[in-house]
C-alpha cells in the first residue's frame, strides 16, 4: 500500500492531539455495522443500464472516478443505492470507495483489498486497514495504528447522477449488478453513533451546510455550494497556485481543477495552461478554454474541440457537510469570509 507523508496543519493538529490523550476526539467503534464489499465483478454502465433498467433511476446519486486508473476506461460510476449505501466501504482494484451519508460525502482512495468499515470519529466515518491502522474516510489520514501520520493517495472522484453519467460516459466501468445487489434507499436520519462521535462545531457556517472542501499542499478551503451554484465558476488560488471551482447545475456536482491540461496517454504533447471561462450554452460542458475553444465537462475532460480527450488536473475536492470538513481541517479557510 502506497502512502504519502502528511504535511502542514493537518499533521500538526494530529500530533498535538496525540500529545494530550485527554483531547482525543471520541471514537465509536462499530466494525460489524456494515459489511465491506471486496473486489466486485465489473461491467459497463451501458450494460448495467439494460440489466437493471426497471430499478436504476436517472437521478440515482453516484460516485464517479473520473480518471483512467487502469489504462482502459474513462473512469466509472457506483450507484449509492445499490453499492455504497449497503456497504459504505468498497475495497477494490479500482480504488477504495467510501460513502458517509451522515457527513454527506463519498470519495475514493488508492486501490486495496485490505480496508473495512470500522466506525466514526468526529462525526466522520473511519475505516481500518488489515494491519490495524485506522484512517479517516474523509481525509485518508491515519490517526492510529502502525502507519499513524501517513495519508492514502486519493483517487480523482466527483459525485453525479446516473442518467447524466450514462449519457456522457456509457462505456465507463460499472459494477456487475447481480441479483444479490438490492437497492437500499438512502437514510433520512443521522446515525446516532455518528452523531455521538462529533466534536464542538465551527460556527463560521451552519453545521449541516454543504461545501466543496478542497485540500492541496498545506492549505484547505471550503466553498459553500449555494455560493458556487450562484457563481457557476470561481477562480481562486490555493497553495499558491491558480485553480477553478466549477458547478454542474444539471446534477448538483462540484469539482476543483488546476487550469492545466494534459493529453491522453496514447498521444504525445506537452501540458497546457489554459484560461477557462463559464459557458452555460454548452449542455453538460460548463467550461470553455480561450486558447482553443475546446469545451470541458464537470469531470475535467475536453468533450469536444481541438483538445478533445485531454484532462484538467484534478484537485482533492469533496462535497461534504461543513461540520465534518471543519472537524478534520480545523484551520480551513472559507471562501467569501
Q: Which residues pair with 213 in a beta bridge?
A: 222, 318
Please report, in tens digits, the pLDDT of each residue of the chain (337 residues total): 433 333 344 444 444 444 444 467 889 999 999 999 999 999 999 999 999 999 999 999 999 999 876 656 679 999 999 999 999 999 999 999 999 999 999 999 999 999 999 999 999 999 999 999 999 999 999 999 999 999 999 999 999 999 999 999 999 999 999 999 999 999 999 999 999 999 999 999 999 999 999 999 999 999 999 999 999 999 999 999 999 999 999 999 999 999 999 998 777 789 999 999 997 766 667 899 999 999 999 999 999 999 999 999 999 999 999 999 999 999 999 999 8
Question: For strand 302-304 and strand 295-296, is the pairing parallel, antiparallel, or unpaired?
Answer: antiparallel
CB distance 78 to 62 below 8 Å: yes
CA distance 125 to 106: 11
pTM of the predicted model as reported, rounded to 2 decimal places:
0.91
Q: Which string of b and e fits 207-216 if b means at least 16 CB within 10 Å?
A: eebbbbbbbb
Provide the pLDDT for residue 51.
Answer: 94
Q: Specify the pLDDT at position 139.
A: 98
Amino acid at each position: 500500500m502506497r502512502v504519502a507523508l502528511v504535511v502542514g496543519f493537518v499533521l500538526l493538529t494530529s500530533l498535538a492531539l496525540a500529545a494530550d490523550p485527554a483531547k482525543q476526539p471520541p471514537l465509536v467503534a462499530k466494525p460489524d455495522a456494515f459489511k465491506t464489499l471486496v473486489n466486485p465483478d465489473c461491467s459497463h454502465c451501458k450494460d448495467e443500464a439494460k440489466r437493471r433498467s426497471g430499478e436504476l433511476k436517472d437521478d440515482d446519486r453516484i460516485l464517479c472516478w473520473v480518471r483512467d486508473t487502469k489504462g482502459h476506461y474513462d473512469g466509472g460510476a457506483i450507484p449509492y443505492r445499490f453499492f455504497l449505501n449497503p456497504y459504505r466501504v468498497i475495497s477494490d482494484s479500482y480504488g477504495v470507495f467510501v460513502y458517509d451519508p451522515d457527513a454527506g460525502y463519498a470519495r475514493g482512495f488508492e486501490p486495496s483489498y485490505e480496508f473495512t468499515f470500522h466506525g466514526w470519529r468526529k462525526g466522520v466515518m473511519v475505516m481500518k486497514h488489515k494491519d490495524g491502522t485506522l484512517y479517516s474516510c474523509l481525509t485518508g489520514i491515519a490517526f492510529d495504528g502502525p502507519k499513524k501520520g501517513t495519508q492514502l493517495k486519493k483517487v480523482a472522484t466527483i459525485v453525479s447522477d446516473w442518467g447524466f453519467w450514462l449519457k456522457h460516459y456509457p462505456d465507463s466501468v460499472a459494477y456487475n449488478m447481480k441479483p444479490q445487489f438490492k437497492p437500499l434507499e438512502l437514510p433520512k436520519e443521522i446515525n446516532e453513533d455518528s452523531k455521538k462521535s462529533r466534536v464542538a462545531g465551527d460556527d463560521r457556517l451552519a453545521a449541516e451546510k454543504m461545501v466543496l472542501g478542497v485540500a492541496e499542499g498545506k492549505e484547505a478551503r471550503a466553498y459553500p455550494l449555494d455560493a458556487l451554484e450562484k457563481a457557476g465558476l470561481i477562480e481562486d488560488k490555493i497553495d499558491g497556485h491558480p485553480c477553478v471551482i466549477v458547478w454542474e447545475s444539471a446534477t448538483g456536482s462540484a469539482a476543483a481543477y488546476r487550469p492545466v491540461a494534459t493529453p491522453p496517454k496514447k498521444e504525445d504533447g506537452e501540458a497546457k495552461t489554459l484560461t477557462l471561462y463559464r459557458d452555460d450554452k454548452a449542455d453538460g460542458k460548463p467550461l470553455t478554454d480561450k486558447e482553443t475553444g475546446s469545451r470541458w465537462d464537470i469531470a475535467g475532460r475536453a468533450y469536444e474541440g481541438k483538445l478533445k480527450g485531454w484532462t484538467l488536473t484534478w484537485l482533492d475536492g469533496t462535497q461534504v457537510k461543513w461540520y465534518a470538513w471543519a472537524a478534520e481541517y480545523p484551520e480551513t479557510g472559507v471562501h467569501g469570509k
